[in-house]
Amino acid sequence: MVHESLAWRRSFAIADVTDADLLQEHHDQGAVYRHGVDRCGRPLLWMIGRKHRKSSALATHQRRYLAAQFERYAAAHPGEQCVVLLDADATGMSHMDFDFISFLLACVKTYYPSIMAYILIYNLPWVLEFAWTIIKTWLHPKAVARVRFVPLKDVGQYVDEEQRPKYMGGSDEYVYKYDGPAGKPTPKA
């Protein structure tokens, strides 16, 4: 696993990625960003399913963007864990991207194995429940135990009201907006 991780880091050149190396589209769309903490004070890495655009032309760029988020967190908080909050509310089949999910799992299993405390999956639509039956076969039982499905009524067990947006029953008025250096333009298909 260590050799695989080192080979991946070298091929992805992840330690050298800057905001300017990433697509501006990914900075702007707000599909993946860090904000707030869970009830134990662990930072939240938000993944907004309905904002994900499945695209084979953008797949490498999307993976690089996600890996950059993990890399920055790991560098800024060595040895500390975060929580991945996958907001599946209003997510449909057009957003389902098994390749991207497989990469996310590789990140938390192989490339950044100690970074994640658990994954919260908020409001998984019934049409995507079949996807979970497939995805959990890719995981070790200990990893499956770190995945928690939470409807609106239960999300407060993990994330306090002031850390949740209003649509999750919270009072946080944060709206993601990227204000860093310009990224690359989206390549033409």
pLDDT tens column, 35-83: 999 999 999 999 998 988 888 888 899 999 999 999 999 999 999 999 9
Tell me which amino acid residue 72 is. R
Which tokens sit at 182?
């310009």
Average pLDDT of the chain, as a whole number: 89
Report how far apart, in Å, the C-alpha atoms of 107 and of each of 72, 111, 112, 123 are. Answer: 13, 5, 5, 23
The answer for residues whose C-beta is within 8 angstroms of residue 102's C-beta and 6 or more apart is 138
Domain boundaries, the chain: 2-168
- Which ranges constitute the DSSP H helices of 136-188? 141-144
| pLDDT in the model for residue 189 | 56
| pLDDT in the model for residue 173 | 96
**What is the dotted CATH code of the domain comprising 2-168?**
3.40.525.10
Please determine, for residue 15, whether its predicted confidence score (pLDDT) is greater than 60.
yes
Which tokens sit at 18?
């800057």
Please determine, for residue 92, whether its predicted confidence score (pLDDT) is greater than 60.
yes
**The pTM of the whole model exceeds 0.85:** yes
